[in-house]
Amino acid sequence: MTIFVKNKHTLQIDEFKFKCCVGKKGLTWNKKEGDKKTPKGIFKIENLYFRKDRIKKPLTSLKCVEIKKDMGWCHDNNYPKKYNKLFKIEKKIKHEKLKRKDYKYDLLIPIKYNFKKPTIGLGSCIFIHLTKNYNPTAGCIALMKKDFLIMLKLIKKNSKIKIF
């Protein structure tokens, strides 16, 4: 099962097409940390992270991980061992806080871009997450909650995402 991001407004799985949004500056083969671009390529996906206090565990074959208040995703170039990885928040390390005040990370799937042996500066924290208005992201792909929940029923642990 492949998730296709056909263009900056369309995500497709089999015959299902969903409106989506991507990075503010579009798609790129040359992703850099902070460039507001979504990386092009074919990538595996990670687990589903969700806010148990806001959403009941969704129907999906993905491994589901409850988001805790101390969970962050490192985007700090000064910490190569933690860069682009889930970690327990430390104030001195720059990160994306997964338990946010807004709704965007109530459902979240990290895209395994620059993932296995991350290269500092090539970009981190590339997620599929929620949107309510389709405003461009900082490099992620965002869907409406109802579409995200449908997508979760369709995809499998070994699904890939193809962004082109």
Write down the H helix ranges in the chain.
145-154
Could you state, in order of their start, the residue ranges of all structural domains in the chain?
2-163
The per-residue pLDDT for 25 is 98
* Fold designation for 2-163: L,D-transpeptidase catalytic domain-like (2.40.440)
Q: Using pLDDT thresholds of 50, 70 and 90, give the confidence band for residue 48.
A: very high
The per-residue pLDDT for 59 is 96
For residue range 78-129, list pLDDT tens digits in order: 999 999 999 999 999 999 999 999 999 999 999 999 999 999 999 999 999 9
DSSP string, 112-155: -TT-SSPPTTS----EEEE-SS---BSS-EEE-HHHHHHHHHH-
Contact 127, 137 (CB under 8 A): no
pTM above 0.95, yes or no: yes
The per-residue pLDDT for 138 is 97
Q: Using pLDDT thresholds of 50, 70 and 90, give the confidence band for residue 34.
A: very high
The per-residue pLDDT for 64 is 98
The per-residue pLDDT for 85 is 98
Q: Once rounded to an integer, what is the mean pLDDT over residues 155-161?
A: 97
